[in-house]
Chains A and B, each alone.
Chain A
């Protein structure tokens, strides 16, 4: 896919990947083998009919193509851009090496069995760019005014969705298609969750997020911003007005290392840094009112997508040097390959097998130096990666003006804290069954608040499964009511 030139793109916040035009899309689609039992579909957390929409592209039936995707995925413009395709659909494409490092052991074994049976000659070839094709269709639909079909019939039943990130947006699309009336409550002043405040515009333009949300509004979904569930209203109060509540409040609480000097000025959580830019548009200060301060030398701690986003954003804010500090090796970075490559092209420096141990500030409380220790790969740990072990005596100091801590997020505690009767897991996540049912009657949850920090598409998958379960729950209750077995709400103990 064509990309913006690195030297130019670090001067703007425009999208890096430029997308396929029609001919490029068709020729990429022609590479698909149209496997009769497609592995790619199994790799997609929401089970999109991938060979189906690719066949439509091949035959230039673009509208049919997007409709095939919409049957399973309400946010293709987003997923086509931010899904870790190499670990999902593309990782299982028959044309790929077929053995992604993201797969579970069981998954790898399945792929190996498949490849050894199928006698494929293509196994070293590049997979079909499924994500880019999905994105192409979504953008085509937007450019040509193609809209998802409106729901057929209106059903009785009101559902409240808490949070407006990918899990809730997917659930909203599904529930509204099923005919229910849906209200989404968002704490911030704009909907989208991590799509709005987390993922930068150079990866996911905000117009794309606006577009997807507008489409949901056209389907009848009502968005209410500035409502902090847990404070403005509680989940219990929502249950008085709604037949079911879905909690998709995400994993928005930043993790800290707890090392000396972490509260010095110039040290940001990645959440704060990215929110200032993506949600508040601090890069346009003083045209906008939210400030951000970035020094000449910026160090970002971590190796995930959030770390890449932060390090690349720092460059665009004018940092002369942007350095990633990561305690493991590059092949162990959880960030998407594509984004690691993009970061490198843009000049982000990688300091690998290095971990900060304290920050040193000046008399005004600003960070000036970070003290690090070198690590070496030790024994393989539970995640299947070599555990980093500090090398004694290898401490060294590095001058920095700004530090961004991107070592992961925990589930937001506000709702678990203010909702009695919710069973919680070890990290404060809400425990649910496969279909998103919580321990509290009528309350469902999904996405990062249930799973801990994961991916956009996994959150969407959870949102869709929960939406279907919510539909069944509401219908069951209606039946019970007409059977005369209806139990009044206040006798439920939750």
Chain B
């Protein structure tokens, strides 16, 4: 059992929790993830680690309520426990002094992007951050991101906060203005694809964090297989971080739609037990469809 120590709602659908998991906390680095299962009969889902405190023995997870399991997780309060939590999983990415790094975070991906920015800043990198969301109430962790970044750009699709448009707009400006050594992009598949495309135009490598459907998370099933550089790789052991220029994002998008029908059935049942509030699919879920 893994106890939730703290909980904070960062937006309508985005929740941050701090979970007691001392072994995981002592090992985890930015870029790794955990597999969790809430209860008997529950499914295993991967969640990116967005921070860890080895002294407190806790890890931080920021997730968006998009389906049954994440909704259930969002209902847990401090003192409640998660039945199973395994990690840290995934290949630890290269963390060193690159020079100037652009950290791009989209939606709930801003949280792990912030974790990366913090780590890279401590390693002596100059950090330029770009964070984006659909609208202002979805844009999380802006102040925290500002604190660790040498420069911060904010975009929203509807222009309700910061620049109107996508994260690729300021990215293009930054890349034309100065020498960038690495771009890190964490967020929706479409965003990571667009960012990798723009960075490639300027000859800069993008590290992307892929989010395919996972089952065990330890390399034994291949549910998370992705195509990178024309080869089949397992995101859970070979990744989840890959060179964005080599990833077949379209294939990933199609593979992530494998269980849409089942996910909806599950979600409806979960909603059935709930009061009338929040009827119908979440916005994020509808977008996925």
Contact = CB atoms under 8 A, between A and B. Distances in A.
B89 A231 contact: yes
B160 to A, nearest CB: 33
A439 interface: no
Given A280-B43, A280-B215, A232 B220 contact: no
A188 interface: yes
Interface string A288-316: 11111100000000000000000000000
Contacts of B99: none
A285 interface: yes
B46 interface: no
B129 interface: no
Interface residues of A, number: 42
A289 B227 contact: no
A265 interface: yes
Interface in B59-77: 68-69
B219 A413 contact: yes
A291 B225 contact: no
A356 to B, nearest CB: 16
A365 B251 contact: yes
Contact of B84 (A226, A364, A413): A226
B123 interface: no
Contacts of B257: 265, 364-365
Given A231-B89, A272-B221, A189 B37 contact: yes
Interface string B248-259: 000100110111
A252 interface: yes
Contact of B219 (A227, A285, A414): A414
Interface in B185-243: 215-216, 218-223, 225, 227, 232, 237
B16 to A, nearest CB: 22
B216 A188 contact: yes
Contacts of A231: 27, 87-89
| Secondary structure of the B contact surface, majority rule | mixed
Contacts of B262: 285-286, 291-293
A342 interface: no
A389 interface: no
A233 B23 contact: yes
Contact of A286 (B44, B216, B266): B266
B225 A263 contact: yes
Contact of A228 (B86, B222, B227): B86
B265 interface: yes
B265 A286 contact: yes
Main secondary structure of the interface of A (DSSP, over half): loop
Interface in A218-249: 225-228, 231-233
Given A187-B218, A286-B269, A226 B85 contact: yes
A256 B232 contact: yes
Considering residues A231, A265, A287, A364, which has the most beta carbons from chain B within 10 angstroms of its beta carbon? A231
Contacts of B220: 252-254, 271, 275, 412
Q: Which of A187, A189, A265 has the most CB of B within 10 A?
A: A189
A262 interface: yes
Contacts of B169: none
A276 interface: yes
Contacts of A285: 262, 265-266
Contacts of A332: none
A281 interface: yes
Counting contact residues on chain B (CB < 8 A from A), the size range is 35 or more
A291 B263 contact: yes
A260 B258 CA distance: 19
A232 B27 contact: yes
B42 A263 contact: no
Contacts of B222: 254, 256, 269, 271-272
Interface string A406-428: 00000011100000000000000
A189 B42 CA distance: 11
B43 A289 contact: yes
Contacts of B88: 231-232
Given A189-B86, A265-B255, A272 B218 contact: no
Nearest to B223: A272
Contacts of A265: 254-255, 257-258
B41 to A, nearest CB: 4
A288 B81 CA distance: 19
Nearest to B34: A226
B271 to A, nearest CB: 12
A290 B218 contact: no
A291 B266 contact: yes
A365 B216 contact: no
Interface string A176-189: 00000000000111
B83 interface: yes
Nearest to A291: B262
Contacts of B251: 263, 365
A120 B212 CA distance: 61
Contacts of A271: 220-222
B225 A293 contact: no
A286 B42 CA distance: 10
B91 to A, nearest CB: 9
A327 to B, nearest CB: 21
A290 B43 contact: yes
Nearest to A288: B41
A365 B255 contact: yes
Nearest to A364: B254
A290 B215 CA distance: 9
Q: State the 6 A-B residue pairs at the shortest beta-carbon distance, nearest first.
A: A365-B254, A291-B262, A252-B220, A272-B221, A289-B43, A189-B84
Interface of A: 187-189, 225-228, 231-233, 252-254, 256, 258, 262-263, 265-266, 268-269, 271-272, 275-276, 280-281, 284-293, 364-365, 412-414
Given A231-B88, A272-B222, 19 more contacts: A187-B86, A189-B84, A232-B24, A232-B88, A252-B219, A256-B232, A263-B227, A275-B216, A281-B41, A285-B266, A286-B262, A291-B43, A291-B259, A291-B266, A292-B262, A293-B258, A365-B251, A365-B257, A413-B219
16 contacts: A187-B86, A187-B218, A189-B83, A232-B23, A232-B24, A233-B27, A256-B232, A262-B232, A271-B222, A275-B220, A280-B43, A285-B265, A286-B266, A290-B215, A412-B218, A412-B219
